[in-house]
Structure 1
Amino acid sequence: MRQPVKHIVFDIGKVLIHYDPHLAYHDIIPDEEERRWFLTHVCSHDWNVEQDRGRTWAEAEALLIESYPDYADHIRAFRKGWHKMVPHAYEDSVAILERLVADGHDVTMLTNFASDTLREAQLRYPFLTIGRGVTVSGDIGLLKPDKAIYEHHTRAFDLEPSATLFIDDTAANVEGARAAGWQAVQFTGPDQLKTDLRQAGIEI
């Protein structure tokens, strides 16, 4: 029998706020095919995730510029235009988060995020500071779905793993949480999240 949920842990990107790197490059690289190539092969997901692991932007930019000197300005534009990549919050998701906190549930956040951009996002979206706190991958050098980041979060916030419900949009991260002994659901939208919470015994 599944244990009652005592702790709720939210991911941030694509659960509470929108994220799309293409939005920073529409003016810089108007051609969609060229823009897609650039964000696949130059400022790629694999390159960006190392900033989520803690690599500095200066190191990251220097690495790419050495390999793609003709794209130096475009590479630097990734961090300079980062604010354009997170244009809005998901209001219905935020309402669920705020309701859970208001109702006295133990809510924290666990995110793959560069340290500096997470602080920028918190200033822009104050709801990212509610609840008991957040574990930021860039602060601790660990990434989801590595088991170690869930274990770190468990220790940092004194959670009971089997009584913890994790909400993330990425299937691999959901599976990583389950491997760490958590309950977990994949976020596909606010209506499904409400259903998942009800099934976990939490009314919204």
Structure 2
Amino acid sequence: MSIRAVVFDIGNVLIEWAPERYFDRVLGEERRRALFAEVDLHAMNDRIDQGEDFREVVYATAELYPDWAEHIRHWHDNWLELATPEIPGSVALLRRLRARGVPVFALTNFGIGTFDLAEPAYPFLTEFDRRYVSGHMKFIKPGHEIFEQVERDCGLPPESLLFTDDRDDNIATAAARGWQVHPFRGPEGWEDCLIGHGLLPARDAA
């Protein structure tokens, strides 16, 4: 079946998501490793991505770890510095698809509060035909439920959706549901995939 919509993950596909890099800069690598070993910050972030209040979750976690409290609060107070910069090649592909009339969706693990911060900083986030944001959906990837909600909402057959994501577990779930998939390793490979599906024209031979 031909592709009827292209589905983009956001983190590390359209926007670099590198909390460790931020904390390396603030704390140094050794202390950052100690922080992340003691405090499961990614599990904390999963709660935000499932719709819990951004500030409440971060500040409550900080209270549990007084030795790290100041730096845990950075996750909220300096969040945009954790999610930067955009990946220009991927943004260009999103816009090229739209210019050719290809429906483009977002499917992302993103909190309600964090997405509210990201949208004005990254205007391309407003350019999707449909946006599936986990904080509003109350489910996160790689669980099947969020993919099922996308299928039900858009009404398209799973095999007509082409999905890219940087995480192999998310790709595996989509593939198991019958979606066509591309493990994202960079804009160049993603462009090759889109060309291969006939969604974008081939590059000039030169």
Task: Work out whether the TM-score is over 0.5.
Answer: yes
1:122 lines up with 2:156 in the alignment: no
CA distance in 2, matches of 1:25, 1:87: 13
Aligned to 1:50: 47
CA distance in 2, matches of 1:66, 1:87: 27
1:137 alignment partner, one of 134, 138, 163: 134
In structure 1, list runs of 5 or more residues that go unmatched.
none
SS in 1 for 2:7: strand
Question: Superposed, which structure 2 residues align to 1:71-86 within 5 Å?
Answer: 71-86=68-83
The one-letter amino acid of 1:90's match is I
CA distance in 1, matches of 2:141, 2:24: 29
CA distance in 1, matches of 2:64, 2:154: 41
Question: Superposed, which structure 2 residues align to 1:3-152 within 5 Å?
Answer: 3-26=1-24, 28-29=26-27, 31-152=28-149
Contact 1:17 1:86 in 2 (8 A): yes
Contact 2:102 2:199 in 1 (8 A): no
1:158 lines up with 2:155 in the alignment: yes
Tell me the CA shift for residue 23 of structure 1.
Answer: 4.2
Moved over 6 A (4+): none
SS in 2 for 1:55: coil
1:190 alignment partner, one of 187, 191, 206: 187
Q: Deviations over 1:131-177 (max 9, x none)?
A: 21211111111011111101111222222211110011111101111
Tell me the CA shift for residue 24 of structure 1.
Answer: 3.7
Between the aligned residues of both structures, percent identity stands at: 36
Contact 2:13 2:184 in 1 (8 A): yes
Tell me the CA shift for residue 63 of structure 1.
Answer: 4.2
CA distance in 1, matches of 2:124, 2:62: 36
Contact 1:53 1:141 in 2 (8 A): yes
SS in 2 for 1:166: strand
CA distance in 1, matches of 2:88, 2:58: 33
Residue-pair matches, total: 201
Q: CA, structure 1 residues 86+126, in 2 after alignment: closer, same or farther (shift >3 Å)?
A: same
Contact 1:24 1:81 in 2 (8 A): no
CA distance in 2, matches of 1:7, 1:56: 31
CA distance in 1, matches of 2:106, 2:195: 20
The one-letter amino acid of 1:197's match is L
